Structure 1
């Protein structure tokens, strides 16, 4: 069995890590698809990277052990991306009377798009939205929860707003009284910090 066939078999079995590796390997093709589907007007509102990250996170959340073995994961990812593009178009252009200052981009994801970060975001969502009782969490979630508690208040709030509430970095910056650039740097560094904590305890 080839490496790709083995990876597809693991995806069919619902393995999140396998899907994350597949997404990262096919990122150039998926980004090319997204670029083709984004119109000029929408490109002025939403980055292709935003659509890629949103699609990746949705796929990670949606994968199950019942994923059909005859279903092409790449076509499935393209379908998710297409829905995200349609949603973005409706969001930005579906209601022209909407106050432009209230619009938010699809910016719920880490900037680099690595499979490790996709997995971390998935774990963050679970850790920050499920009950806090220990028996409801696995070991990695508990370690992540401990790492989150060690963050500064502004770091924890930025992580919550971005990955749980889905705020754009510019909106987080306004709320926390920082620049958009500062928030982006904070989010990137905080994710790396959390990744390091988890990796050191594997």
Structure 2
């Protein structure tokens, strides 16, 4: 408990490594919380642990502007869990009612900025090019990914194209799980900034 108190204090001081450590330390608690607010139908389609991986990426990417003046760190992380559950529900159960643009259905749902972009990133890497043949964003995405370092590009591909968990990516690249999650969150933020001018408008 004392170790976690130290992590909380460091997170409040905007220590990124401490945030990653706190997420690791509280992972089981966050998984339990996330599972408790998921419907049975959603649980049959999505693993809570996968959502926590997305929460970790979102937290690391949005850490600089996190409202830690209004929330305790664990409360902020739980709020991100709530948002991710809503995103997942809309993505899986709203997609069937959407047109060919359903691959971006998570974009408007995530106001923390990470979920929708990551869904588009995954779709851009894994979907047949014909699906997006008229979408200039996909070409820009491939160019932006190509500008990343070899290590970042490999990690991005393993996570979003192959769907590997960060721990497995870390083992393959000889890094720690925390280092890989930080690398992924920073890389996604770089890509997001580079594609800001072609971000779709909300309707």
**What is the TM-score when the length of structure 2 is the normalising length?**
0.54
User: What is residue 56 of structure 1 aligned with on the other side?
Assistant: 56
User: What is residue 86 of structure 1 aligned with on the other side?
Assistant: 86
Residue 185 of structure 2 is aligned to residue 194 of structure 1: no
User: What is residue 44 of structure 1 aligned with on the other side?
Assistant: 44
Structure 2 unaligned runs (5+)?
107-114, 119-143, 180-203
Per-residue CA distance 1:68-93 (angstroms, 9 max, x = gap): 35631111111101101101110111
Q: Bigger radius of gyration, 1 or 2?
A: 1
- Does the CA-based 8 Å contact 2:68-2:76 persist in structure 1? no
**What is the TM-score when the length of structure 1 is the normalising length?**
0.54
- Does the CA-based 8 Å contact 2:59-2:77 persist in structure 1? yes
Task: Sort the Cα spacing of 1:10 and 1:65 in 2 relative to 1 into closer, same or farther, 3 A.
Answer: farther
Task: Sort the Cα spacing of 1:4 and 1:59 in 2 relative to 1 into closer, same or farther, 3 A.
Answer: same
RMSD value over aligned CA atoms?
Answer: 3.9
User: What is residue 17 of structure 2 aligned with on the other side?
Assistant: 17
Structure 1 unaligned runs (5+)?
109-127, 133-144, 150-154, 170-183
What is the 5 A alignment of 1:1-202? 2-64=2-64, 68=68, 71-97=71-97, 145=149, 148=151, 156=154, 159-161=155-157, 163=159, 166-167=160-161, 169=163, 184=164, 189-196=168-175
**Counterparts of 1:129 and 1:52, CA distance in 2:** 24
SS in 2 for 1:87: helix
Task: Sort the Cα spacing of 1:103 and 1:130 in 2 relative to 1 into closer, same or farther, 3 A.
Answer: closer
Task: Sort the Cα spacing of 1:68 and 1:95 in 2 relative to 1 into closer, same or farther, 3 A.
Answer: closer
Shift of 1:10: 1.0
Per-residue CA distance 1:111-153 (angstroms, 9 max, x = gap): xxxxxxxxxxxxxxxxx86966xxxxxxxxxxxx36x39xxxx
**Counterparts of 1:65 and 1:36, CA distance in 2:** 27
- Does the CA-based 8 Å contact 2:42-2:89 persist in structure 1? yes
